[in-house]
Amino acid sequence: MPTYDYKCDGCEHTWEEFHSMTAEPTKKCPTCGKKKAKRLIGAGGGLIFKGTGFYQTDYRSDSYKKSADADKAPSANTDPKASTDSSKKSESKTNSSE
């Protein structure tokens, strides 16, 4: 339910009321009692972001996330253990020839 701003044309009193959008606007001023109150046009509530940050990538689709995870997974050709094993074998051959 929104908050509405009102102003009395009789006594210039301004106030806020919290009521439903479908409710009839208040006509009677709470200060002077005259039925000269008018609802003012307000700017509305502002949008407030709370948290550490909001990025475009926070709301990626599931298909995008799956393909990104597949790209991150190591393939058989780039196995880091395989490259270190071959380098150890070449080192042992050079050491034995001395």
pLDDT digits (tens, 9 = 90+) for 12-43: 999 999 888 899 999 999 999 999 999 998 76
pTM: 0.44
Which pLDDT does position 69 carry in this prediction? Answer: 86
Average pLDDT over residues 74-87: 56
Chain CA centroid to CA 88, Å: 51
Closest listed residue to residue 3, CA positions, set 48, 42, 46, 49: 42
Per-residue pLDDT, 30: 92
- Predicted local distance difference test score (pLDDT) of residue 67: 87
List C-alpha distances in Å: 30 to 8, 17, 34, 39, 42. Answer: 9, 11, 8, 14, 20
Residue 94 has pLDDT above 80, yes or no: no
